[in-house]
Each structure stands twice: as C-alpha cells, then as structure tokens.
Structure 1
Amino acid sequence: MSNPPKLFISYSWSSPEHEDWVLELATSLRQDGVDAMLDKWDLKEGHDSIAFMERMVNDPEITKVLLICDKTYASKANARAGGVGIEAQIVSSELYNKVVQEKFVAVIREYDDNGNAFIPTYYAGKIYINLSSNDEKYLGEYEKLLRWIFNKPLHQKPEIGMLPAYLNEGNHISLNTTSHYKRCLDAIRNDKSNTNGLLADYLNLYNTNLEKFRISDILASEKEIELDDLIFNNISDFLPARNEFIQLVSALIQYSSSNKYINIIHKFFENNIRYLFRPENITSYAGWDFDNFKFIINELFLYFVALMIKNEKFEELNYFLNKNFYFLHHDSREPLSSFLIFKQHCESFGFRNQRLSLGYANLHATTLKERANGINLEFIDLMQADFILYLRAEINSTDTYFIQWWPTTLMYTRSFYPFEIFAKSKSKSYYESMKCILGNNPDINLKALIEDAKKGTRTVPKWQYESISLSRLTDFNNIATI
C-alpha cells in the first residue's frame, strides 16, 4: 500500500501490563498495513508532550484516532486530568461540533461489575469496538477495527445497475476458515507454542470445506449453464481461499522457528488427493466433474513449492518432495504416489479454448498467469517452481519419451535467461545448498538430462514450434563456477 492510513493511539499509562497490551495492538496494526503512531515510538526526549498530543488529534493527515478505554482512561478523561484530559478536551470538541465523524473510535478494554463499558462521558451512546476478551470474539472485533480504519465495512451498498464483484455475490462459495486463519496467523507471528496445532486445525477445516466446491453438487442447481463455464466460475470463486492459503504459508515459512510444519502441510496435500478422483458414493458423473479440483489443488501445490524456493528452504522442500502421498483409491491398487499425483490433465480447458475460440496455446497456463496477482509472488516464481518439479521428475525417471511433470507455465518463457535459482547457482556454496531439490545425484543426472535433450533422445516440453532450452534455463555451463 503506497499511502497507508495514519492512526494515533490515545491511552493511559494505567499499568505496565496495559502499556504492553497497547504496544502489542499497535504492532499488530502496523503489520496489517496501518501507520500506527504511539507516544512510545513517536514522542522523543525533549519534545513537548502536550503539543504532541494536540498535533496527533488535530493533524489532518492522521485520519483515525483510537481511544483505548479502561477504568483509568475514563476517569482521567471525565476529570480532564493529565494528558488524557487534554486529549479529551480536543476530542470532545470534535465530537460535539460535527454531526458525522469518522475519525475517532473507542476501544474497550474493561467493564465494570455491572457489565458497563468504561468509556468517557463525552463518548456515551456511540458505537465502540470491544477488545476486552482474549477469545475468538477478539478476532472478530479486531477485524471490525481494521475495516473501520481502512473504510472497508463488511456490508457495502452496491451501486445501482452494476453487477457486484464476485466477492459480494450471494452465490459465492466460502470455506468459512477466516477465524481459524486469523488465530493461526497470530500464533505464527508470535511464535506461540500451539502454532502447529492451530495450523493442523486450519488445514483440516480447509480440506473438509473444499467439498463445497464439488461440481456435481453445484450442477444440480445450475440447469442453464455450460459445464466449462461452471468450472471456471468455481475456480474464480476459489481465489480468496487460495490467497488466504498463500498468505498463511508465506508467514509460516518466514516466521516459524521450527520445520515441523512440513509434515502438516504434507498431510494437507495428502488429504486433498481424494478430490482428484471419483468418490465411491458417486456412480454417475462426467469426466470433467473434478477439473476444478485438479486445477485448484495443482495451483496450491505450485505456490507452496514456489514459496519454499523463494525463501530458500531447500532441505525442507527436498524432504517434502521425497515423501510419498498415501491415498487408497477404489479404482487403483497402489495406495502410494509421488508428488506427480498433483499434476492432472484438465480436459475441459481444451474444450473451453475451442468453444470460445480463445486461441490460447494452453488455457491452463494462461489461467494460472492471469490469477498471479494480489499476492507476494510473481508469475515467474510459479514458473520457476514448475520447472524445478519438471527437472526433479525427469532426473528421477528412466522414461525418455513420457514427460512425468508437464511444466505448463513454461510456455511463457523465452528460454533466454536462467531462472533466479540457477543464476545464483554460479556460486558453489549456493548450488551445494540448493541442488538437493533437483533429486538424485543432480551433478551427474542434470548433465545427462541436458545432453539427452540436445541429442534428441529425451522428450522436452514443446509448444507449437518452440521447445524450452534446458541449458539456458539452468545456465548449466556456469553452475558452481565461482
């Protein structure tokens, strides 16, 4: 965000515990994109504290002011005592002189024995935000606070005559994981001891509620819509859930002090395999009924791998990719699969490309590219992950004609520049740390793969008339040279 909202926090120094709580709240707000200002940070030695408070309340650039209300704050504000009293005079004047005001809001920290909030008299009768509890209600109230700061109310009145965005549509499918997500994200950022448990709970709920996206169930209520339209609408509806997963995993990789989350993520993807195939209780189905799941789960898998590579978690990623995934499918006798299980062909994409005369070389790749926004990764990071998975599959394969992991996104590479991970591999130490993600004996097998591709004895991904150049994308001749 180029211009984050500026916010001042007014509070009383009631106790060290209360000051710590305010400091933690201010820190959380800054992490969530708010330019929160606090005396502990912005009032320096030698500054006039009264002038500082007046400026914070009156400064037009400060669009929001929080009044952290506990018993001490309310008492000082009513008695016009101390710094809180000075602020109260300024704030009360603003409130009384303006019929509509959106700059101030009271945040309740304490209630009296009768259940009444401790708030200044001048604020009586106005809506406040309750952050007095430490349970699930806190998360909902904190979200309410963020929405107020960013002027993003939960319920917005749509423009007359215009189609609302899909996030506001009544038919939008939701995983209902928001509260679990927030609890887990808070635990990750604060390195809490229950992080892994909360992560498992979140991912289990995420996996369970994926059932809401099942095409065969939705199809029953959609009588006049093309099946490929239904699939693409379904994939579009999933975008908020995808972004939520990416944001959580990104925080997990960056802040977790343990790598135990790898097994939890592995279990999550293992549990998702069931969505790629026909459930036992379904006997009547079309071959495309699971294409939305095939795309969605492949996309989640690609982003997870991309995040691991971006954050240079090479050993952990190698461990993850080495593990088999267990799923006992009624149409198969083999219950164990490698990561290749997450690369499934979506037949409906080809049909849609032809039906609508879209003219794309690969609609699957184009859809991935068009959706690569609103997150902290670029599409090239997704391409890099796709390429690594392709290389790992080929290095570990003895089949020179069948491509195990077709790197769909590489249709967008021009094969002139190496991916970041290989450009950095000029460094011997960097290459030694990353090469494990390429699979078995990469020093020997990567060279053999590239030589076979040059000789034409190994099938290489190709779109129209252009094949990818393995030697260029890996910058093979410069690996480990410095």
Structure 2
Amino acid sequence: MEIKEPKVFISYSWSGQIHQEQVKRWADRLLADNIDIVLDIYDLNEGDDKYAFMEQMVTDKTVTHVLVICDKKYSEKADSRKAGVGTESQIISQEVYEKVKQSKFIPIVCEFDEDGQPYLPTFLKSRIWINFSSTEAENENWEQLTRLLYGKPLHVKPKKGKTPFYISKEQNLPTSESFAKFSSLQQALLQGKMGIKKYRRDFLDTCIKYADDLRTRERPNTENFGEKVLDDANKLKPIRDLITDWILVESEITSEDEFSNVLIEFLEKLKELKARPPEISSWNDSWFEAHSVFVYETFLYVVAALLKTECYHTLHEVFTSHYLLASPQRIHRDSKFESFGGFYGYSDALQKVLAPEGRRLYAPAAELVKRHADREDLPFVSIIQAELLTLLMAFISEETRWYPQTFHYSTYEYEYPFFVRATQHKYFKKLAVVTGIQDIEELRKKVREGHERLNVNNWYEFRFERDFWGTMNMEKLDSLK
C-alpha cells in the first residue's frame, strides 16, 4: 500500500540553546521516521528573508503540517506580536481562523504554567494539542504524532452496518416493545444492575405475547393460507433475532447453572406456541404452521448461539431436559412431558408459496429458514451445524425423532468446525460435555443405533449425504491428542 510521505514545517521560538537543540532532536527523529522536515537551522541560509521564509512555509501547499512548538516564550511573543514569532503567528493565525476545520497546524506543548495549564498562544488555545513537556511524555505520544502526520490514526471509524430491522421493515414495528425491553435487559446485564430477573422476565414475556397474538384463533381463508403462514413467519422473525441476541449476551455473563434453568423454562413456553390456544375448542393443527416453523427455527438459532458462546453444559441441559407439554396437549396423554424433539416443525402450506415453478421442495420450512438466514454473526452454515448437532443428539436419545431439514441445502463446500475440531481430544471433550458420553466407541455405538431407529437409510432425497456419519466426523473423532 502506497503511503504519502508528509512534509512538516516546525515553528518555534529561539528561547535558548537548549530549547533549540531539543527542537533539532525532534526534527532528526521525525526524519528518521521518513518524514520530510523544514527547519530554519537546516533550510534558512544567510541572506534569506526569514519572514518570507516563514510565510512561504505556512502557506506552502506541499507542507502537509506545521508543528507549532509552544512554550512560555513562544506564547508571550506570539500574543504580543514580538520578533519572528509574532510575525509568524500573524501568518498562522490568519490561516487558522480562515480554515478552522483543517488540521494543518498541530500545537506541541513543551511547558505548563503553575496552574497546570499548557502555554499556548491565544489563536491556538481551542486546538487539540500533543504533550511533549518531558522525555516520558514525548515517548508516550510519539506514535500519536507520527500517525497524525501520516494520516494513519490508531482508531479508525468502522464502516456503517446494516439498517436495523426495526427501522427498515415497517411491518415489524409492533416488535418495538420487545426491542425496548431487550435494550433495557442488555444494559442491565452489561452494567451489573440489580433486578436482572425482572428485566429478563419483562423481555421474554413481551416476546411470547407478541408471538401468541399472531396465533390463529379463527378459521382462516384456505385460498391464500400459504401467504398467511409466510406473512406470519416473517413477522415472527424479529422475535427470533431478539431471542438469539439475548442468548448471545446473557450466556456469557450469567452463570451456566442459572442461565440453563432460565433458558429451559423459556423454551418450554416457546414450545407451547405450536399448540392451539387453550380458549379455542375447534381447530386444525395446520392453523399453527407459522408458529411451528418459528419454534423450529428459533430452536436451531438457540443451539447455534450456545455453540458460539461455548455454553456446552447449557446445551447438554437443552438436549436432555424433559419439557412439559402445553395444557391442551396433556389431555389423553400418558406422559405429560416430551424431549427436545418437540421443537421440530414443518409446514406444508409453505410449499405453494416458496417452491419455484415446476419444482417441489423437500422441506419448505428449511427453505424459509435459509431465506431468513441474514445474520452475519450466525450465517446459514452455522444453523446447519446446529441441526447436525441436534440430529446427533436425536441419534443417541431413544425417545427423540428428528429430520434434518436444513441439510437439503448442505454442500461439499460447507464445513462444520465443531465436529472437525473434535478430532482433537481437547475439543472432543467439549462434544462429550454436550452428549454426556465420554467414550468415543460408546458414542459411535449409540449413533449407529440411532441410524437404525430413525431409519436413516430411507432418507433418499438428500443429495449430499444421508447417513451423516462422515459429516459428523465419526471415524476421526478423538483421534488426535
């Protein structure tokens, strides 16, 4: 990368031999840093007009910066317009006042008064200055000066990101209450405020309420039902993102034991959204397909977020907990609980509105998840990896069934680092925390049994790999120490 070399004029007062030698030392040090220096002792010869020289250097467009070396004598001479400094300061002040926003003139403070205030001429008092009043200050601030001269500051403003969804998507404005509650919770977590439980409860309750308000409670129009499912699913996406943001923030702050309990309780409420509201007595399960896909999608994002924050104990709790069924589902059931398989969701209605013309989608819900995958911190490949881990847990959990819908979009280019890294023993131990199985041979045995129980060999529609053994890196897990 080509870097433009700066050219610097140094303006100072001849306060004495020691001061002049100090200025010369700074000039030599700048020259050593490949900065072109204009200094009277080097560039002003006998017979030259020193005032013309000063004016030329101050106004010269090839001079990128003017270092104004400010000590007590320089300030006094400048303010009283005495000698060369007075003439020079008149030239500089005119430039400064005519071009207030330009940063050509840099005050270098060499001396402070008895009140600790820097000696600066009046026309420079409002300018940001650099402290060179001692050897220590010089060494501490030298990089700041050279970066300034080269136009390469230490702190660079980052590029603008995307417009927040709650600004750019008018249809999502009803989620503003949930966003406000999340902002309050996030601030409370980061600042260590008291009452985190209340902030969290307020946030999560608004998320559930927003989603619940979208549940169908009257017989929908069957002619455009697919469009309604898609519209509701799109309206629920911002809540998915807020829940994901919450997990990414709090899982790294709150202890895993406490956070696991909170998350399991919330997931139980989230799962209830798939069922009919208790107040209706006549319904069809298809009415709630938007919420079925929303719960499925959000669960995958929960798993992906916990992988990202390395909350493996929490993941183990998510996959091994038993979730209480919604009250309408508990009727006529022997068991009142179900495994994480209850978070699985699909939609037949989305087939018509999402499938390209003349093509049938194997998993319309996965197509929607793919279209919704616009987060930079958790790209779509992270969501597929989360479903791969979920499938692994389904293999080793006898009471759980799961069909990996997003794997219809997996390709040979995709890699799943959590499984690849588990080739090494230290990373396999992290996988072992999630599965609860420490021995690799026992894990392989359980996975083989899961393949048979789920009848994976009949999953013919996968174009990439249907046994998932290789994708899960089963042969190489825990093979490197």
Quote the offset at 1:455 in angstroms.
Answer: 8.9
Quote the offset at 1:295 in angstroms.
Answer: 0.9
The one-letter amino acid of 1:390's match is L
Q: Over the residues paired in the alignment, what is the CA RMSD in angstroms?
A: 4.1
- CA separation of 1:442/1:230 partners in 2, compared to 1, >3 Å: closer, same or farther? farther
Aligned twin of 1:464? 461
How far does the alpha carbon of each residue in 1:274-316 deviate from its partner, in whole angstroms, 9 at most, with x for none? 2211223212333321011111111111111111112221122
Aligned twin of 1:116? none
Aligned twin of 1:194? 195
Aligned twin of 1:178? 179
1:430 aligns to 2:432 (yes or no): no
Query: For residues 413 and 163 of structure 2, what CA distance do their matches in structure 1 show?
Result: 44
Provide the TM-score with structure 2 as the length reference: 0.60
Aligned twin of 2:362? 361
Query: For residues 449 and 212 of structure 2, what CA distance do their matches in structure 1 show?
Result: 44
Quote the offset at 1:429 in angstroms.
Answer: 1.8
Provide the TM-score with structure 1 as the length reference: 0.60
The one of 250, 253, 269 equivalent to 1:252 is 250
Q: 2:189, 2:250 within 8 Å by CA — same for their partners in 1?
A: yes
Aligned twin of 1:144? none
Quote the offset at 1:434 in angstroms.
Answer: 2.1
Q: 1:172, 1:237 within 8 Å by CA — same for their partners in 2?
A: no
Quote the offset at 1:47 in angstroms.
Answer: 10
Aligned twin of 1:168? 170
- CA separation of 1:182/1:436 partners in 2, compared to 1, >3 Å: closer, same or farther? same
Query: For residues 411 and 300 of structure 1, what CA distance do their matches in structure 2 show?
Result: 19
Quote the offset at 1:188 in angstroms.
Answer: 2.0
- CA separation of 1:289/1:368 partners in 2, compared to 1, >3 Å: closer, same or farther? same
Alignment of 1:196-275 (within 5 A): 196-216=197-217, 226-256=224-254, 259-275=257-273
Quote the offset at 1:346 in angstroms.
Answer: 2.3
Query: For residues 205 and 365 of structure 1, what CA distance do their matches in structure 2 show?
Result: 26
Query: For residues 155 and 296 of structure 1, what CA distance do their matches in structure 2 show?
Result: 18
Aligned twin of 1:396? 397
- CA separation of 1:179/1:224 partners in 2, compared to 1, >3 Å: closer, same or farther? same
The one-letter amino acid of 1:184's match is L
Alignment of 1:251-400 (within 5 A): 251-256=249-254, 259-332=257-330, 333=333, 334-352=335-353, 357-397=358-398
Query: For residues 345 and 454 of structure 1, what CA distance do their matches in structure 2 show?
Result: 21
Q: 1:452, 1:458 within 8 Å by CA — same for their partners in 2?
A: no
How far does the alpha carbon of each residue in 1:171-191 deviate from its partner, in whole angstroms, 9 at most, with x for none? 864362122111101122223
Quote the offset at 1:379 in angstroms.
Answer: 0.9
Aligned twin of 1:124? none
Q: 2:355, 2:361 within 8 Å by CA — same for their partners in 1?
A: no
Quote the offset at 1:353 in angstroms.
Answer: 5.2
Q: Which has the larger radius of gyration?
A: 2
Query: For residues 418 and 348 of structure 2, what CA distance do their matches in structure 1 show?
Result: 32
Quote the offset at 1:246 in angstroms.
Answer: 1.7
SS of corresponding position for 2:207 = helix
- CA separation of 1:187/1:455 partners in 2, compared to 1, >3 Å: closer, same or farther? closer
Query: For residues 155 and 450 of structure 1, what CA distance do their matches in structure 2 show?
Result: 43
How far does the alpha carbon of each residue in 1:211-234 deviate from its partner, in whole angstroms, 9 at most, with x for none? 2212336x77xx696011011011
Aligned residues with identical type, % of pairs: 15
How far does the alpha carbon of each residue in 1:116-156 deviate from its partner, in whole angstroms, 9 at most, with x for none? xxxxxxxxxxxxxxxxxxxxxxxxxxxxxxxxx99989999
Query: For residues 213 and 278 of structure 2, what CA distance do their matches in structure 1 show?
Result: 17
- CA separation of 1:461/1:414 partners in 2, compared to 1, >3 Å: closer, same or farther? farther
Query: For residues 205 and 165 of structure 2, what CA distance do their matches in structure 1 show?
Result: 26
In structure 2, runs of 5+ residues without a counterpart are 1-67, 76-91, 104-121, 128-159
Query: For residues 404 and 166 of structure 2, what CA distance do their matches in structure 1 show?
Result: 41
SS of corresponding position for 1:473 = coil
In structure 1, runs of 5+ residues without a counterpart are 1-45, 61-81, 88-148, 157-164
- CA separation of 1:355/1:430 partners in 2, compared to 1, >3 Å: closer, same or farther? closer
Q: 1:318, 1:437 within 8 Å by CA — same for their partners in 2?
A: yes
Aligned twin of 1:90? none
